[in-house]
Amino acid sequence: MMKIKSKKKFIAFSLVVILVTIFSLSWIKGSNASAATVGQQLPSPEAGWKRYDDSDSKIIYSGNGWQVENNTVHYNSTEHYNRTDKDAKITFKFYGSKLRLITDRNTNRLNSQLLYVNIDGVNVGSFSTYGSPMGQCLSYEKTGLTEGIHNVEITTDVLSAIMLDAIDLNSEGYLIDASTVVVNEISLNKTSLSLNVGQTEDLIAAVKPDNAENKKVTWSSSDESIATVDENGKVTAIKEGSLNVTAKTTDGTNLTATCEVNVITNNESVTVESEKDKLALNSEFTTDIVLHNVKNIYAEDFTVAYDKDLFEYVGYEDVEGLKVFKEIKDTDNGKLRFIVASLGEENGINEDKAVVKLKFKTKASGKGKIDVLKTRISDNEALEKDILEENCGEKEFEIFADVNRTGDFTLIDLGIDAYYYGKNVDDTDKTKYDADVISNGIIDDADLTEIAEQMIKNDKYEPNN
């Protein structure tokens, strides 16, 4: 009983081996049969290939003595040939990655003659058309080319025969008119770029020559989780990291230009800072424009707006190690622009630092702001960036005409100045009071008289109520 079972197992195993062997041989045979080899007749293109006849107008036959032979042995019954000019040549341009040349073969030519194939200026091989008579012979094959536009030249160096029956290209390929001007150079307006999260930047691709027929490009990001790029080259930063944005020609040349993009989290900010935010009427005060969370910054360009009805711009004061190289004043609209630079390597801005001091004078009571509208900063290498608008700060000030900063002149204002009568303004408690009402540096009769006048004009002040 055990012997019978063992015999059945052996038979089953043998059948499996036989079936596997038959399948393998069939697969090998099928694979070989599916790929033509040089020297075989190939009346029609194989799967994955596309054929172009020798009569296609995109194929150029240069030299004297070209003729067309009409014979059914040729593809579409025609073949170009030249037997009288050894300088004759065949040229064409195509897009693709694979090439086959179809010719006839015959013994009515030199058996030593070779036809040379040049692709993109490089000799890539040769072939002979000497042999037993055969039409539509696969005489030459070149695969593994970079998918793109290629220039082909077929030549010979002896007077015998140069010919072409057809051209096979990979199915995605196609012949290109020789007169078509293709792109030979592509560049971007920026090769490196630093963006804050949420910031955008437009990249511009320039292609040459100017008369190229197809100047369109496609854009791609190497990591769209960090930054994306749209069809127009607009880059949008999403999260911190580095990537490449690439522009690629679409005319088949597949030329590329790349910009290195670095996305950083924007912690930089700019603020308006002052020792006090409650101000006396007709008094001067100073504000600092301060950069925060920066590193190796050597140049700044910023615009400030101020309430022109409440403040009068007096001027600016340089900060040690920095200098204002351009001041643009638009006092009619309450705007100022400053271009500032560091004076030497040791004066680069790191972390927090004031870049300029601005001086104003109050001219009316009320509440008003001094606001940094926009700021651009630069290091000493490649960084040039805008601080986000929401990180450009402002400061509100309140201007009081009265002494104790309540907004109304009352008897208490007169009492305060009476207390300080005869003293210099620096001897008063300036943290609480603006005793020098007329701003002459001393508390005197003029101040008390002005307070009394303002009390009478104050509708809210009604004594004995």
For residue 191, what pLDDT is reported?
95
Checking if the pLDDT of 25 tops 80, the result is no
- Residue 69 is assigned to a structural domain of this protein: yes
Domain ends where: 111, 141, 176? 176
- Residue 1 is assigned to a structural domain of this protein: no
| 88 and 144 together in one domain | yes
Checking if the pLDDT of 220 tops 90, the result is yes
Provide CB contacts within 8 A for 72, sequence distance 6+.
none
The Cα diameter of the chain in Å comes to: 136
For residue 18, what pLDDT is reported?
54
CATH number at residue 378: 2.60.40.680
Domain ends where: 400, 420, 442? 400
| 114 and 212 together in one domain | no
- Terminal Cα-to-Cα distance of the chain (whole angstroms): 129
| 391 and 449 together in one domain | no
For residue 353, what pLDDT is reported?
96
Tokens of 456: 């009478």
Residue type, 208: K
- Residue 20 is assigned to a structural domain of this protein: no
Minimal CA–CA distance to 168: which of 55, 50, 77?
50
Checking if the pLDDT of 465 tops 70, the result is no
Checking if the pLDDT of 20 tops 70, the result is no
Checking if the pLDDT of 112 tops 50, the result is yes
Mean pLDDT of 113-123: 95
Mean of pLDDT over the chain: 90
Checking if the pLDDT of 291 tops 80, the result is yes
CATH number at residue 125: 2.60.120.260
Counted residue by residue, the chain has a size of: 465
| 276 and 394 together in one domain | yes
Half-sphere exposure of 460 (CA within 13 A, CB side): 6
Mean pLDDT of 200-208: 95
CATH number at residue 196: 2.60.40.1080
Number of domains within the chain? 4
Residue type, 249: T
Least confident piece of the model among 4-13, 29-38, 146-155, 349-358 = 4-13
The percentage of residues in the chain with a pLDDT greater than 90, rounded to a whole number, is 71
Better pLDDT: 61 or 159: 61
- Residue 441 is assigned to a structural domain of this protein: yes
| 44 and 164 together in one domain | yes
Provide CB contacts within 8 A for 104, sequence distance 6+.
73, 74, 79, 129, 133, 134, 135, 136, 137, 163, 165
Mean pLDDT of 13-19: 52
Q: Which domain holds residue 449?
A: 411-457
| 317 and 225 together in one domain | no
Give the predicted TM-score (pTM) of the model. 0.50
For residue 14, what pLDDT is reported?
55
pLDDT band at 205 (very low <50, low <70, confident <90, very high): very high
Task: Give the three-class secondary structure for 192.
Answer: strand
- Residue 450 is assigned to a structural domain of this protein: yes
Domain ends where: 381, 400, 419? 400
Checking if the pLDDT of 19 tops 80, the result is no
| 285 and 373 together in one domain | yes
Tokens of 333: 């609209």
| 444 and 415 together in one domain | yes
| 122 and 231 together in one domain | no
Q: Whole-angstrom Cα distance, residue 415 to residue 403? A: 10
Checking if the pLDDT of 6 tops 80, the result is no
- Residue 65 is assigned to a structural domain of this protein: yes
Checking if the pLDDT of 1 tops 80, the result is no
- Residue 316 is assigned to a structural domain of this protein: yes
The percentage of residues in the chain with a pLDDT greater than 70, rounded to a whole number, is 92
Write phi, then psi, for 425 (nearest 5 degrees).
-60, -30
| 299 and 238 together in one domain | no
Going along 276-348, which residue ranges are E strands?
278-280, 284-297, 299-306, 311-318, 322-330, 335-342
Q: Whole-angstrom Cα distance, residue 230 to residue 252? A: 21
Checking if the pLDDT of 29 tops 70, the result is no
- The string of pLDDT tens digits covering residues 336-358 is 999 999 999 999 999 899 999 99
| 285 and 370 together in one domain | yes
| 208 and 294 together in one domain | no
- Residue 14 is assigned to a structural domain of this protein: no
For residue 31, what pLDDT is reported?
40
Q: In what order do the strands lie in the sheet with 134-142?
A: 49-53, 166-170, 99-105, 134-142
Provide CB contacts within 8 A for 23, sequence distance 6+.
none
